[in-house]
Amino acid sequence: MGQAVIPQDKRILVGWREWVSLPEIGIHAIKAKVDTGARSSALHTFDLMAYREKGRDMVRFSIHPLQKHTDKVVVCRAQVVDRRWVTDSGGHRELRYVVSTPLHLGTHVWPIEITLTPRDPMRFRMLLGRTAMDSRLQIIPNASYLVGKPPAAAH
C-alpha cells in the first residue's frame, strides 16, 4: 500500500496458518489462513446489517470466531471504508463491504482492510490476503503458528 519494501531479514516469519486478533472490532482470537492466492483479506460474517451513524456508513455483523464452533458468537461493528467487487476462488463475483481495523499478529500490529462475506463452507473464518501482508511477512509454507497460540481462554 505504498510503503517501502521491508528487507527480508526484518520480516515476520509466519506459517500457512496463524492466530490473529482484531480487538478493535471485538475479535480477540481467530485462526487465519495466510493466503498468497488471495489479493484481499476476508472475514466470515453472518447477520450483516448496514446502517448510518453520525453521518458515517457502518456495518454490524456476527461471526463464529472458532472453527467448528457455532456456539460462540461475537457481534462486531465497524465503519465501512468501501464496497468492492471481489472474485472468490470459485470465480464468483460478489459486492462486499470493506472495513479497516488493526491486525494483531503476536506483538506486531498494523492496519488492514478486510472484506466481509459468508464463508460457511470454508474451513477458515479468516483469510489474510496479499494486500494485508504488505511485504511484512515471510511465509514458511509447511509450518503453522510460528507467531504463537492464543491464550487458553480464547479456545
pLDDT digits (tens, 9 = 90+) for 141-153: 999 999 988 755 4
Q: How many whole angstroms separate alpha carbon 114 and alpha carbon 38? A: 12
| Residue with the larger pLDDT of the pair 152 and 89 | 89
Torsion sign (Cα): 57, 47, 124, 106: positive
pLDDT tens-place string over residues 99-146: 999 999 999 999 999 999 986 667 889 999 999 998 899 999 999 999
Q: How far is CA 103 from CA 30, 35, 53, 110, in A?
A: 11, 15, 24, 5
- pLDDT of 59 reads 97
Best CA proximity match to 63, nearest among 102, 111, 28? 28
- pLDDT of 41 reads 96
One of 2.40.70.10, 3.30.70.580, 3.40.190.10, 3.40.50.300 is the CATH number of 8-44+81-149, namely 2.40.70.10
Q: How many whole angstroms separate alpha carbon 87 and alpha carbon 52? A: 27
Backbone angles phi, psi at 76, to 5 degrees: -120, 155
pTM comes to 0.87
Q: How many whole angstroms separate alpha carbon 4 and alpha carbon 128? A: 20
Neighbours of 27 (CB within 10 A): 20
Give the cell for residue 16: 500457512
